[in-house]
Amino acid sequence: MSDHVDDSLSVPAASAARRRPPRAVRGLSDRWIATLFIAPSIVLLLAINIFPLIWTVYLSFTNFRANQPGREVNWLGTKNYARLLGSEDVWSYLQATAHFVVWTMLIQVAIGLGLALLVNKNFKGAPVWTTIILIPMMLSPAVVGTFWTYLYQPQTGIFSYIVDFFTGLGPIDMIGSVKLAPWAIVIVDTWMWTPYIMLLCLAGLRSIPDYLYEAAEVDRAGPFQTFWYITLPRILPFLMLAVLFRGIENFKMFDMVVELTSGGPGSTTELASINLKREAFEKWRTGYASAFAVILFVTVFGLGNIYVKALNRVKQ
């Protein structure tokens, strides 16, 4: 991702600084200001992000347990990793996570893109309704998850009631049924985050200059062709960026789902992060959980980088 850093603005200053000896400007020199301005952030990030990360990597090779401080800590080598990768259960958590990520992304892209195209028609009142659509994504996922357990109640919940009203299927147990629970979390996530995809698509749409459409009209392109050859290529980078951000977030998903289903029924919605929390803070297998954390981090990082490469190709 680093090749995106916009460096153009700093180049003149940099080359200028190189040519001349330090200017006789009053006050702090530029170098001092730069150090002074950046250092606190870097120090904080080192202390609260990087140092912990390195510590996690170290712990992942040990049998350390945070709740038994007196216990001897042994170096296990890659045993924690071997155990994790050999565990059927861990694969099922990753599968549940993949199901969640893939389906939320597909559905949200479909609805979000559609909404963006509609909002872009600029009908009267569009800004007001767009703002209303945005509200769910501003809310606290944990609080949302809690409340959706109420909306999903098969007997008293409004969700089941509305579905029953339109389909006549009777009470629907979204959270308790093995078949429906994975979709229950997809629905809530879609409700919350479709607006985000919509917004980024909208940003993409607004970046398309009108003359392209005018040219298309001159060429007598149909609406489908216009969409396929002009709109889609232009918004694709925006859309992919939105999917990248949301994909990472959903891969890490914890709060909303833990409050909604706590991983159940059985382990059908036990996403990787939920299991990680159980291993780390309920079972207190700190070393093992650290190994799991490292695996998840590497996975996100790896997938993210592959994706960014693809994104760059699309942009070119």
Residues 85-144 that bind other proteins (CB under 8 A): 89, 111, 115, 118-127, 129-136, 138-143
Give the nearer residue to other proteins in terms of CB position, either 150 or 228. 150
Which of 61, 62, 63, 113 forms a contact with other proteins (CB under 8 A)? 63
- State how far the alpha carbon of 41 is from the alpha carbons of 29, 44, 45, 176, 300, in Å: 20, 5, 6, 46, 24
**Residue 61 interacts with other proteins (CB under 8 A): yes or no:** no
Which of 25, 86, 167, 168 forms a contact with other proteins (CB under 8 A)? 25
Give the nearer residue to other proteins in terms of CB position, either 121 or 313. 121
Question: What does the alpha-carbon distance between residue 108 and residue 102 come to, in Å, rounded to a whole number?
Answer: 10
Phi, psi of 309 (to 5 degrees): -60, -45
Site for other proteins in 200-229 (CB under 8 A): 200, 202-210, 213-214, 217
- Dihedral Cα 16, 22, 24, 27, nearest 10 deg: 100
Q: Least Å distance between CB 66 and other proteins?
A: 6
Q: Least Å distance between CB 228 and other proteins?
A: 16
Q: Least Å distance between CB 78 and other proteins?
A: 16
Residue-wise DSSP of 139-188: S-HHHHHHHHHHHT-TTT-HHHHHHHHHH------TTT-TTTHHHHHHHH
Binding mask 154-193 for other proteins (x = CB under 8 A): xxxxx--xx--------x-x-xxxx------------x--
Binding mask 246-285 for other proteins (x = CB under 8 A): --x--xx-xx--xx-xxxxxxxx---xx--xxx-xxxxxx
Structure tokens given for 188? 């809530």
Question: What does the alpha-carbon distance between residue 38 and residue 47 come to, in Å, rounded to a whole number?
Answer: 14
- Cis omega (within 30 of 0) for bond into 265: yes
